[in-house]
Structure 1
Amino acid sequence: MTALQNVLTAMEITGVKVQNKKARALELLEKVGLTEVEAKRNVLQLSGGQQQRVAIARALSCNVDLLIADEPTGNLDGETAKEIIELFQELAHQENKCVIVVTHSQEVAKKSDRAVYLSKKKLVVNEINNS
């Protein structure tokens, strides 16, 4: 299955009502940093970072307000991880999406607006000022 087919399948399953689903899927893949050529590649031929981007585009294709990502940068190189986190920040700040990221990475947590930690069986909430 190609990256494009992956996003189109999610749209079909969730009953997304869009005039031109293929154009919308390509737009979302481009938004997350994939070219049209990459969109037509089998997802198994894409890098880990590109596969993460396909997963994000797939979630966005369903027009969700809440995006939950479990260790989205865990298997990525530093530069790709940074790009994924910047994309999440853009989604949160510019498109008003709620993005929840589960991570063991202190660096990723520091990029958030709010971090919730489990410490000694209690939840600790830290407001982080990223201005």
Structure 2
Amino acid sequence: MIGSGRTEWLAWETGDDPNSFIKPALIHALAAIAAAISEDEVSGLMAANTFLKKGILSGPLSDLVGKELFVTVFEDSARSIESVSEVLGLLRDFGVKSSLCAKGIAVDHEKRRLLSAAGATLFDDINVAMTN
């Protein structure tokens, strides 16, 4: 998980506007993937930023080329799920085989409708989603 504090740090490091990194910006999804595979948030953030700005796949993201990436996302926002899906599409263009399991968490009817439209399996709460 990459939160706003981490993306604010990245904005300060790169001279970018922190508002350009507000969720569901692609940087959140891509940096979370990179940080998860490397166990290093800083390298994940920097690799995600380089990829999105320059179209260059660098470590740790470059380690995914030719491999299969299975991503499970737990979200209450359809837009965030769409962001993850878009990031996986970008990675596929660079030879990363990927699949997404989206778990939508919501009780509100409209949120559930949007989550379902984004391809999520619906759950009323995170605890149930994590065990299924």
TM over 0.5: no
Q: TM-score, normalized by length of structure 2?
A: 0.37
Higher relative contact order structure (alpha carbons within 8 Å, sequence separation ≥ 6): 1
Which entry has the higher C-alpha Rg, 1 or 2?
1
Q: TM-score, normalized by length of structure 1?
A: 0.37
